[in-house]
Amino acid sequence: MRSLRKPSVIPGFGLSLGFAAFYASLIVFIPLAALFAKAFTLTWAQFWDTVLHPQALASYRLSLGAALIGASINLVFGFIVAWVLVRYNFFGKKIVDALVDLPFALPTAVAGIALTTLYAPQGWIGQWLTPLGIKVAYAPLGVVVALTFIGLPFVVRTVQPVLEELEKEIEEAAASLGANRWHTFRRILFPALLPALLTGFALSFARAVGEYGSVVFISGNMPFKTEITPLLIVTKLEQYNYAGAAALAVVLLVFSFILLLLINLLQHWSNKRAGG
């Protein structure tokens, strides 16, 4: 039998891998396994009853729908932000660039109360929307706003490096062949950026589906109307319905894993594009 490791003179293999594997198992692997074990203490019928309950279905609809809309908003505006940051020069560009990461750095609870205050009927932004009949805070639209905020950096940060790597000569070649700017963009640039755009979209979406902190403040948390799936899990937990919470968590996890797989495939595709 061949050994686990290819021989090397560099020391510390056993220690570093041993500790890393031990720690990862303890913190991530065993607890996640416990979750699946708990969910399957339910019978199949109970499991399906829980995860297909109308209240659960309504929460998936809201979570996925709002995440999808938020990610789409980020796809469009994130692309514009990345484009502007890479291609144009303007005053304060470095600060703007640094600020893009704010949603990664700002705790979600802080974002949640800030957005709620802004979009409440008397808030800075809400007061202009209320007369128009638009309700943001304590409505599904509020969930969209929160999920847009927390997913904002992803598209920018995946598109930006790819855009920087693109060779200007390709565009110049297109221009010299008589293509106008719009044609060059649509036929040359856009296809090259598509994998990165989709990766950013998927990352933003994945983050939004599981988001909790920023949403609970702005959504109003009404069952069937503005209750996201993570909140429903917390509710079940507070009712000491551990197995029910675990069942919903499994649904959320499986969904996240599928997304993670998709993102890895996208990145693989993206790297291959960039490499070729």
Which residue among 58, 139, 147, 148 contacts another protein (CB under 8 A)? 148
In whole angstroms, give the CA distance from residue 119 to residue 210. Answer: 22
Alpha-carbon distance of 106 to 150, in angstroms, equals: 9
Smallest gap from Cβ 133 to another protein, in A, equals 20
- Selected from 42, 64, 68, 118, the binder of another protein by CB under 8 A is 118
Any contact of residue 40 with another protein (CB under 8 A)? no
Instruction: Please tell me whether residue 8 binds another protein under the rule CB under 8 A.
Output: yes
Tokens 């990345």 correspond to: 82
Q: Does 106 bind another protein (CB under 8 A)?
A: yes
For another protein, what does the binding mask look like between residues 48 and 67, x meaning CB under 8 A? Answer: --------------------
Q: Which stretch binds another protein (CB under 8 A): 11-19, 53-61, 127-135, 219-227?
A: 11-19
Determine if 12 is a binding residue for another protein (CB under 8 A): yes
Question: Is 105 a binder of another protein (CB under 8 A)?
Answer: yes
Q: How far is CA 134 from each of CA 66, 121, 139, 222, 271, rounded to the nearest angstrom?
A: 16, 9, 10, 18, 42
**Structure-token pair, residue 261:** 């797989």
Our finding on whether 122 is near another protein (CB under 8 A) is: no
Q: Which of 50, 184, 226, 270 binds another protein (CB under 8 A)?
A: 184
Which listed residue (5, 45, 54, 177) binds another protein by CB under 8 A? Answer: 5
Between vectors from CA 230 to CA 138 and to CA 43, what angle results, nearest 5°? 135
Gyration radius of the chain's alpha carbons: 23
Q: What is the closest distance, in whole angstroms, from the C-beta atom of residue 103 to another protein in the complex?
A: 7
Q: Is 222 in the site for another protein (CB under 8 A)?
A: no
Residue in 47, 103, 126, 244 binding another protein, rule: CB under 8 A: 103
- Cβ atoms < 10 Å from Cβ of 209: 24
CA distances 39 to 25, 36, 168, 264, 269, Å, are 20, 5, 54, 27, 35
